[in-house]
Structure 1
């Protein structure tokens, strides 16, 4: 405790209840409200001195000067409780020293959020986990462009971008960072330049390539902590099958980046090899649901399907999955979109979840899945 510089978290409000000895701590980020009855006036005086500029011993000596009955052990016990309850943090944090002054300023508000949602000894440890991660995004269009931007803003350390397309005018209404001046340019080059301008601390590795069933993705996947598939040519289900096969080989977590059909947004899933059901399990579930519907014959099999799209739905779908990525990479907790997919309806903002059943297991997953 000697080296701790305690500070009430900036996201925590401290209030004294009139005519009582109760102190209220309000967590603004989570709407949590904790109340403690403080009988010892010295404890309250100590809390008021916890501004992050003084070590715990200095706080004790200042109080003890006028209240000699107050012991250092009492202050230590109080501090331990406040740390455990997530009310204070230690500004003398060695992990902070691994970030530059610019990074400390850049990520400060974000780390305030981490401090409320994680039980790590230092919220900067979570940011460090994100900084040391490598993510590949395959397809940087309607979903991928938003996910790449959000992850770079969050401080992902290394990001691989895979795409072969060029910016078209109709992309600009829903795909982030592309502008009218970029029409005709390779998406990969435009995205690389603009992401670097957002966060120069991130290492960006662009790959101008189109994937198909025979594409060797090993050099993209094997060094990653997470792969996000947003490629939709010929369709998201087919590319998910290709990408998931390689990810399972290297045991790399991966997210199927969903998509949208008009006002409906498709969310997830997040797959962790060896811990969750895999893409083949989802195909078993999908085929079951297809059998329940009517059998229809497509009279225009060669016509490419186009559905309406807007930035509203693509950004919502993308950032649902970015939060899952951050939880996984930062080790803030288990991802939310595992063993299920979601469908968000933009008309009423409802989400319908399709949970895999115990019977939706491929041969591989049935060997390890509980």
Structure 2
């Protein structure tokens, strides 16, 4: 970082007791720094985009001769999300059209993430390749959000045709698409949303773990928005396939007003199967499990898809990275009901028990027979 500058959105305030508040509630992020000697306040005031780090450290040392390590104070502040590089230029890998298209993305990322200017976050999205499996209520919203955000390559997979009953919540389709394959209609719509990315589609049903292995090969992440065959079973496949491929996956959905999302990576956190076992052990024996029915409105489907997309963006870029190894969510008819499912890994679990690379049999099958919802 050549010319450190405190971001305008995070300009600091100093209280009478010397405590510094940087950031603000309006942006959802803030920090307070105890600064009885005034070292940090001086450094922040010097970070106006006109001085190098070395110059700032020299001036800080002159202002506070008692300071043992001025360079360390400067480097710690530069490493935070509150400071940017006034000399940074947008990367050449982004065209003028892309700089304009993603300017609001950059404004968001520069506030919430570290880095010289946050355009590097957009570059990470541009280079990312994602599979969206399932293009219903959750998947259609997730695919739209990923395309709008600028994920460079999106592969859309779904076996179904568009039905009139889908149109109350599935954002990629209109009345003219009824009877058309969802994958085909979704690809056409997403290409219209963003012609600067690559969108492909495949009308197919994933019927085995081996097929899922093949589908995700070469991709960076999986958005699992399908619930067939057997909603739990396909998540088990994803848990194992993504662990073997060393890529993260995000699963989301809704049950009536309850909207949930789970994020899983091969490097950290509890895996999906261990979470399920932990919840099963927590329940009182004989407790019925209601997985919901077809009841859904546009808002619950939309939120679930947006949660999935937001989590994937965080995993792909490292900015606003979501908690992994947990399932979290909200209840749309009970504002104080927040879902947070967390359990430790099972001893010896090949996915998360030792965090070692998993080896699983890829021939498991689950019957695709399932009542239509």
In structure 1, how many angstroms separate the alpha carbons of the residues matched to 2:286 and 2:27? 44
Find the counterpart in structure 1 of residue 261 from structure 2. Answer: 267
* Residue aligning to 1:140: 135
After superposition, the Cα gap between the structure-2 partners of 1:284 and 1:86, relative to the gap in structure 1 and judged at 3 Å, is closer
Contact 2:268–2:325 (Cα < 8 Å) also in 1: no
What is the aligned partner in structure 1 of residue 326 from structure 2?
340
The equivalent residue for 2:172 is 177
Question: How do 1:23-172 residues align onto structure 2 when only pairs under 5 Å count?
Answer: 27=24, 28-30=26-28, 32=30, 73-74=58-59, 83=78, 86-94=81-89, 96-172=91-167
List alignment gaps of at least 5 residues for structure 1: 58-69, 299-303
Mapped partners of 1:331, 1:146: distance in 2: 22
Larger Rg: 1
Q: Structure 1 128/245 Cα, relative in aligned 2: closer, same or farther at 3 Å?
A: same
| Deviations 1:174-213, CA, capped at 9 Å, x for gaps | 1112111211111111111111111111111211111112
Match of 1:311?
Answer: 298
In the superposition, the TM-score normalised over structure 1's length comes to: 0.76
Q: Is 2:256 the counterpart of 1:284?
A: no
Most deviating of 224-233 and 8-17: 8-17
Paired position in structure 2 for 1:193: 188
CA drift at 1:364: 4.7
User: Is residue 139–residue 162 contact of structure 1 (8 Å, CA) maintained in 2?
Assistant: yes
Q: SS of the residue aligned with 2:244?
A: helix
C-alpha contact 2:88 2:116 (8 A) present in aligned 1: no
Q: 1:161 to 1:71 in 2, by over 3 A?
A: closer
| Deviation sequence 1:143-174 (CA, Å, 0-9, x none) | 00111111111111111111111111111111
Closer/same/farther in 2, CA of residues 110 and 79 from structure 1, 3 Å limit: farther
For 1:333 and 1:72, the matched residues in 2 are separated by: 30
DSSP 3-state at the match of 2:219: coil
Give the match for residue 11 of structure 1. Answer: 9
What is the CA–CA distance in structure 2 between the aligned matches of 1:136 and 1:331, rounded to whole Å?
19
Contact kept, 8 Å, 2:270 with 2:344, in 1: the verdict is no
Does the residue aligned with 1:204 lie in a helix, a strand or coil?
strand
Helix, strand or coil for the counterpart of 2:334? Answer: coil
- 2:244 pairs, out of 226, 245, 249, with 249
Describe the shift of the 1:120–1:72 C-alpha distance in structure 2 as closer, same or farther (beyond 3 A).
closer
1:139 Cα deviation after fit: 0.4
Q: Cα gap change, 1:359/1:209 in structure 2, threshold over 3 Å: closer, same or farther?
A: closer
Aligned pairs (5 A) from 1:182-221? 182-213=177-208, 216-221=211-216
Find the aligned partners of 1:343 and 1:116 in 2 and give their Cα distance.
25
SS of the residue aligned with 2:227? coil
Q: Deviations over 1:9-31 (max 9, x none)?
A: 453468899xxxx9986544235
What does residue 327 of structure 1 align with?
314
Tell me, yes or no, if the aligned pair for 1:129 and 1:331 is still in contact at 8 Å. Answer: no
User: Aligned equivalents of 1:248 and 1:72: distance in 2?
Assistant: 45
